[in-house]
Amino acid sequence: MSTKKPAPPPKSELAGTDTADRANTNAKLQSLERFRSDATGQALRTNQGVKIADNQNTLKVGARGPSLLEDFIMREKITHFDHERIPERIVHARGTGAHGYFQSYADHSALTKAGFLTDPQKKTPVFVRFSTVQGPRGSGDTVRDVRGFAVKFFTDEGNFDLVGNNMPVFFIQDAIKFPDFVHAVKPEPHNEIPTGGSAHDTFWDFVSLQPESAHMVIWAMSDRAIPKSLRTMQGFGVHSFRLINAEGRSSFVKFHWRPAAGTCSLVWDEAQKLAGKDTDYHRRDLWEAIECGDYPEWEFGVQIIAEEDEHTFDFDILDPTKLIPEELVPITPLGKMVLNRNPDNFFAETEQVAFCPGHIVPGIDFSNDPLLQGRLFSYTDTQISRLGGPNFHELPINRPVAPFHNGQRDAMHRTTIDKGRASYEPNSIDGGWPKETPAAARDGGFESYPERIDAHKIRQRSESFSDHFSQARLFFRSMSKHEQEHIIAAYSFELGKVEREFIRARQVNEILANIDLELARRVAHNLGLPAPTQGTQVERKTKPERSPALSQVNLLSGDIKTRKVAILAANGVDGAAISALKKALEAAGAHAKLLGPTSAPVTTADGKVLAVDGSMEGLPSVAFDAVFVPGGAKSVQALSTDGVALHYLLEAYKHLKAIALAGEAKQLLQVLHLEADAGLIVGADAKALKAFFAAIAQHRVWAREAKAKGIPA
């Protein structure tokens, strides 16, 4: 097992690139760009290239007469419109995406022969799609749900799709149960409710009967299921994969993505309000970050398990409901991914992108994880249904930058025009081309790892997959106090929506009691159920007992880059305080928006007119990380009698956000009946700003949480 962590190259090296590298990257991007179209300056034409003189009126017999069937322009337009929608994904339907690149930190050829991981000068284009699992395309971004984290690498050797989630485990161990899980978590079949959530009977009926789901469910009940933004999510490959080097040596690996912005989440009340105030909150945040140059960045790493260490753990590394604690196997960083360009067309790119776990390149291979093995079939099968046939790889967003030649022709939506006579192999008509590339050759062809297997064909679950509660217990006990309270509240909320009491009781007594008795007792109390006195299984002792790497408290970035601060102002505001704050935020890589009572400009105390970015009603506190109220007697007086402004501050306080009150704004403490704390700062001098920024960097003022629950919002 490897514990060595190669040092990442300096930021300056990653930011810059030599001429040859730029040319290589640009050539790859241009191979994708040739499919893009900009109709600026172009005549309006039909799909057959005929110029259109009148696009306003159907061809009719007289001005008030019947329309004519011969109007081929109208028929083409309406026919295309009638067929514009394709089936949405069964799961992960609600998503958004972005383009970017991946760059390796070093030559990792000792680990793998995959080219994109062996050349630190190479920038490999990527497209990433983030998504929720349960809801349809029109559902909200901030619902409690697992998030998909899928990356398509356009490598020189072909496309590699790393199709993962923002949680490192899954609900089931075997792919044959996947339809059952999805049917259970989807809206109830009799009324198609709820949209986007798991707080209903069929989901909890299923998971309370499937103890293997216990670990994933507790992740879903944690703050991980309501991420602050897509930019602050970790990503995981979930399954164990293999990396294989040029000598044929194999290592098992778990894939990890770690955001440079840190990992943090919304609070539940905030998530619910955002679902109503801005359904598109996550996709808007990602889009705006890229547009303003705050390019989201993740470090790509692996946990490496030597072939001979496969069976050294007290769990099975092939079990997709288990993670490998970082205390046992540290993450080895391999490179970084930067998202720096938004799609030009949502449908053509984000909706038509087709990810398949079976898309791998030489140097990467699968493990015998039974859930992964089922996904290798399922994803390709569903893309054929969604995208109208087996040629989905020819869509521009899916087309590899590496050339592809084979005997596969015809079928729906074929765009390549093959000129050769032979559509079979071997052949002599076309000189034998295209030909196989021996695996041993330079830039050799793909060769599966020659794993030796000697066993009977049986339908049976491995005994090594039988421990369902140890890692759920590890997760809960690794959480900070406030994270544990949030998990208790989430179970209580979700199970409180379950109509059948026997399902609630089964989840408490047969699942939660085997994870942690105090967790079970607290949830039982909140549901009005008898508290269990013991679990149904003997607690297994495993190592480690706690894993600090699982708590988001330990995963913050330590800075306030890309954070957003709302400045509340009215006429008579202290303009100097606004300027000073904006300057300090800009230096720290953060952003400010000036908000007024309306969208009209405000006038400062010295008579200057300031344009505002919006109104307090239009840009609510849930859209910001912190709030600043500058001084100015008239401005503060106006805000102190404005119900919207007062609610703004109380809501920010309730959601545990940093608040700074400068100058006369200190008076608002009395109006709101609040007391200054580590995140409620009074003053605007350098010392106060430093404390304000430190509170923002901590993401939330957790010490305030118990008190804030009594604040109306």
Closest C-alpha to 617, from 595, 601, 639: 595
What CATH architecture applies to the domain 564-708?
Answer: 3-Layer(aba) Sandwich (3.40)
Read off the pLDDT band of 27 (50, 70, 90): low
Question: Residue 402: in which H helix or E strand, if any?
Answer: none
Predicted local distance difference test score (pLDDT) of residue 33: 64
Q: How far is residue 61's CA from residue 576's CA, in Å, rounded to a whole number?
A: 70
Asked if residue 34 has pLDDT above 90, the reply is: no
Q: Mean pLDDT throughout 338-353?
A: 97
Instruction: State the DSSP string of 352-371.
Output: T----TT---TTEEE---HH
* Residue ranges in 595-685 assigned as alpha helix (H): 633-640, 643-654, 668-672
Read off the pLDDT band of 440 (50, 70, 90): confident
Read off the pLDDT band of 1 (50, 70, 90): very low
Read off the pLDDT band of 25 (50, 70, 90): low
Query: Dihedral angle at the C-alpha atoms of 75, 77, 81, 84, nearest 10 degrees?
Result: 110
Locate tokens 């969604």: which residue? 386
Q: Which residues are catalytic?
A: 92, 165
Check if the beta carbon of residue 667 is closer than 8 Å to that of residue 643: no
Q: Tell me the average pLDDT of the chain.
A: 93
Residue range 613-661, pLDDT digits in tens: 999 999 999 999 999 999 999 999 999 999 999 999 999 999 999 999 9
Predicted local distance difference test score (pLDDT) of residue 23: 54
Report the alpha-carbon angle 197-202-204, nearest 5: 75
Residue range 186-214, pLDDT digits in tens: 999 999 999 999 999 999 999 999 999 99
Predicted local distance difference test score (pLDDT) of residue 710: 76
User: Percent of the chain at pLDDT above 90?
Assistant: 86
Question: Residue 306: in which H helix or E strand, if any?
Answer: strand 297-306
Domain residue extents for the chain: 11-16+85-175+231-394, 478-538+546-554, 564-708
Q: How far is residue 676's CA from residue 504's CA, in Å, rounded to a whole number?
A: 41
Read off the pLDDT band of 15 (50, 70, 90): very low
Q: Mean pLDDT throughout 459-481?
A: 97
Check if the beta carbon of residue 687 is closer than 8 Å to that of residue 713: no
Question: Residue 605: in which H helix or E strand, if any?
Answer: none
User: Dihedral of CA 194/196/198/202: which sign?
Assistant: positive
Task: Determine the distance from the C-alpha atom of residue 71 to the mean position of all C-alpha atoms in its chain, rounded to a whole number.
Answer: 47
Read off the pLDDT band of 229 (50, 70, 90): very high
Predicted local distance difference test score (pLDDT) of residue 40: 84
Q: Mean pLDDT throughout 51-80?
A: 93
Residue range 99-136, pLDDT digits in tens: 999 999 999 999 999 999 999 999 999 999 999 999 99
Q: How far is residue 272's CA from residue 33's CA, in Å, rounded to a whole number?
A: 39
At what angle are helices 633-640 and 643-654 packed, to 10 degrees? 80
Which three-class secondary structure state does DSSP give residue 457? coil
Check if the beta carbon of residue 213 is closer than 8 Å to that of residue 225: no
Read off the pLDDT band of 364 (50, 70, 90): very high
Residue range 292-329, pLDDT digits in tens: 999 999 999 999 999 999 999 999 999 999 999 999 99
Q: Which residues contact 538 (CB under 8 A, 6 or more apart)?
A: none
Q: Which CATH class is domain 11-16+85-175+231-394?
A: mainly beta
Read off the pLDDT band of 36 (50, 70, 90): confident
Which residue(s) pair with 626 in the sheet?
565, 658
Length of the chain: 713
Predicted local distance difference test score (pLDDT) of residue 30: 57
* Residue ranges in 333-480 assigned as alpha helix (H): 370-387, 470-478
User: Percent of the chain at pLDDT above 70?
Assistant: 95
Q: How far is residue 695's CA from residue 680's CA, in Å, rounded to a whole number?
A: 9
Read off the pLDDT band of 24 (50, 70, 90): low
Predicted local distance difference test score (pLDDT) of residue 111: 98
User: What is the bridge-based pairing of β-strands 95-104 and 123-132?
Assistant: antiparallel
Predicted local distance difference test score (pLDDT) of residue 16: 37
Asked if residue 546 has pLDDT above 80, the reply is: yes
Predicted local distance difference test score (pLDDT) of residue 10: 41
Q: Mean pLDDT throughout 249-269?
A: 98
- Three-state secondary structure of 20-47: HHHHHHHHHHHHHHCCCCCCCCCCCECC
* Residue ranges in 256-319 assigned as alpha helix (H): 268-277, 281-291
Widest CA span in the chain: 90
Distances (CA, A) of 503 to 182, 350, 507: 18, 38, 6
Residue range 664-706, pLDDT digits in tens: 999 999 999 999 999 999 988 889 999 999 999 999 999 999 8
Which three-class secondary structure state does DSSP give residue 505? helix
Q: How far is residue 140's CA from residue 138's CA, in Å, rounded to a whole number?
A: 7
Q: How far is residue 21's CA from residue 96's CA, in Å, rounded to a whole number?
A: 29
Find out whether the peptide bond into 434 is cis, omega within 30 degrees of 0: yes
Closest C-alpha to 651, from 315, 269, 78, 280: 269
Check if the beta carbon of residue 129 is closer than 8 Å to that of residue 95: yes
Read off the pLDDT band of 570 (50, 70, 90): very high
Burial readout 189-210 (b: 16 or more C-beta within 10 A, e: otherwise):
eeeeebebbbbbebbbbbbbeb
Check if the beta carbon of residue 576 is closer than 8 Å to that of residue 503: no
Instruction: Pick one of 1.20.1370.20, 3.40.1160.10, 1.10.287.40, 1.10.10.10 as the CATH number of 478-538+546-554.
Output: 1.20.1370.20
Q: Which amino acid is at 51?
A: K
Q: Mean pLDDT throughout 437-441?
A: 81
Q: Which amino acid is at 265?
A: S
